[in-house]
A and B are shown apart, each in its own frame.
Chain A
Amino acid sequence: MLTKCFRSLPFDNLSGLRGLSVLGPVFALLIISKAGSLIFHRTFPTSTPGAAAGPPGQTVGTLGLPGTSTLTTNDYLVLAGTFHGVHAITRSLTPKIPVAPSAGSSGRSWTYPDPTVPASGIESMESSFFRLTVFQTLSGTKFLLFTDPSMPNTDVLMKGVYERYADFVCKNPFWQMEMPIRIDAWERSMNQWLTRR
C-alpha cells in the first residue's frame, strides 16, 4: 500500500485557466503580514444546498458549512497569529538527511530532501472539508486561500490574487506596509477574480 504513489500532475497555465470555469467554491482569503498580524480577511458567501434549505436563523460558519459558528474578527486575529507561528515551526521541522561530510560541498553534515529548493513552511494543508493553500511572498507576506478540497489549480488562483495585490494594494500610495488593507479597488478586483464562475 505504501508503495502506491500519487503524483500530482503539473498543470500548464492554459489548462489551469480552463479549470477556472469549473471552480469549486472559494471560502475565504486571509493575508498575514510578515510580522504575523492579520492585515486582510474576506469570506465569500457560499450557498451550500443544506444552508439554503435550512432555517434562516441557522448560523453557517466561515466555510459555509451548517453547524459551524461564524468566527469573529478576534478569532481571525488569533488564527492568523497561530498560523504564523506554525508556519515557522513547520519550516524548522524539515527532515535533515545526513550525508558523508566529504560529499557536502558547503561543509554541512546534512542536506534537505530536495536540495534544489530552500525549505519552506506549509504550502498547502488538507482537512476533510477544505484545503488551505498558502503562498509566501519573498518579503514574508502570507496569503491564505481556503477552498473546497476538490478545487484544482489553486496556485493559478493564488497567482491572480497576488497580481491584484501588487497592482491595487502595493501600488496604492496611501497604503502603508503592515497596515490593514481597506482599499475598494482591490476588494472589487479580488472579489471578481475569486467569485467568477
Chain B
Amino acid sequence: MVVYSFYIFDRHAACIYKKTWLPSSFSSSVTPARPSSQPSQPYVNGGLQARAALSADNDAKLVFGTVFSLRTMVRKLGGEDDSFLSYRTSQYKLHYYETPTNIKFVMLTDTKSGSMRIALQQIYVNCYVEYVVKNPLSPVEHPGGLGVNNELFEASLEQFVVC
C-alpha cells in the first residue's frame, strides 16, 4: 500500500498540516513553517504547466473543497447521521475522517488499499491528541500549522505510515 499525501484541516477550513510522501530522493515534507526541500522542477507539458506550478499550494484547498462538497452531498442524501468515508478514482483513493470537534483528516493512497477510517482515527488518537493536543506549549488553534508541525508528531506520523 502506498500513501501519497496526508492533510489535516481545522474547523476554520484552514489546512494546518500537509505532508506528501514521494518515492526515492524526491521525498519532501511540505509543512508551512519548515524549510521545504521540494525540488522546483520545471513542468514541461504545455497546458498543465500553470496548473502544476500552482498545485503545491492549492492542492490543499482543492482537497478541502472536494471533501466539503462531498460531505454536504452525503448529508443531504443520507441524513445528518451519514458520514462521507472515501472515494476512489482510477489513480488514487481518498480517505476521510472527521473528529467530533470538526478536525478533518484526509489521506490519499493507492486504489488497492482498503478502508483507512480506523487508521485515520488511530492517527488522531495516537499522534494528534498525544503530541499536539497534549502539548502544553501548543496553541488552541493552529494558524498556519503552528503547534502541529512539531518533531514528535511528525516522527510518530512517519512511523505510523511507513510501518
Task: Check: B146 CB closer than 8 A to any chain A CB.
Answer: no
Interface size class of B (residues with CB under 8 A): 35 or more
Instruction: Find out whether the CB atom of B77 lies under 8 angstroms from the CB atom of A61.
Output: yes
CB-based A-B contact count at 8 angstroms:
159
The interface residues of chain A lying within 8 Å CB-to-CB of B137 are none
Cα separation A117 to B1 with both chains bound (whole Å): 19
Per DSSP, chain B at the interface is mixed
CB-CB nearest in chain B for A68: B79
Task: Check: A77 CB closer than 8 A to any chain B CB.
Answer: no
Task: Check: A91 CB closer than 8 A to any chain B CB.
Answer: yes
CB-CB nearest in chain A for B72: A82
Task: Check: B108 CB closer than 8 A to any chain A CB.
Answer: yes
| B interface residues with partner A (beta carbon < 8 Å) | 1-5, 20, 22-23, 26, 39, 41-45, 51-52, 55, 59, 62-63, 65-66, 69-70, 72-74, 76-92, 94, 108, 110-116, 118-119, 122, 160-161, 163
CB-CB nearest in chain A for B160: A2
Instruction: Find out whether the CB atom of A127 lies under 8 angstroms from the CB atom of B89.
Output: no
Task: Check: A42 CB closer than 8 A to any chain B CB.
Answer: no
Name the segment of A103-111, A155-163, A178-186 touching the other chain.
Answer: A103-111
Task: Check: A120 CB closer than 8 A to any chain B CB.
Answer: yes
Interface size class of A (residues with CB under 8 A): 35 or more
Cα separation A20 to B119 with both chains bound (whole Å): 32
Instruction: Find out whether the CB atom of A2 lies under 8 angstroms from the CB atom of B77.
Output: no
Cα separation A130 to B116 with both chains bound (whole Å): 17
Cα separation A193 to B96 with both chains bound (whole Å): 33
Cα separation A112 to B71 with both chains bound (whole Å): 26
| Leading 5 A-B pairs by shortest Cβ distance | A6-B114, A68-B79, A125-B87, A95-B4, A120-B90
Instruction: Find out whether the CB atom of A93 lies under 8 angstroms from the CB atom of B59.
Output: yes
> A2-B1, A110-B41 provided; 16 other pairs, C-beta below 8 A?
A1-B122, A2-B163, A3-B163, A6-B115, A67-B80, A67-B81, A89-B62, A98-B26, A106-B45, A107-B45, A108-B44, A114-B90, A124-B87, A128-B83, A129-B81, A146-B77
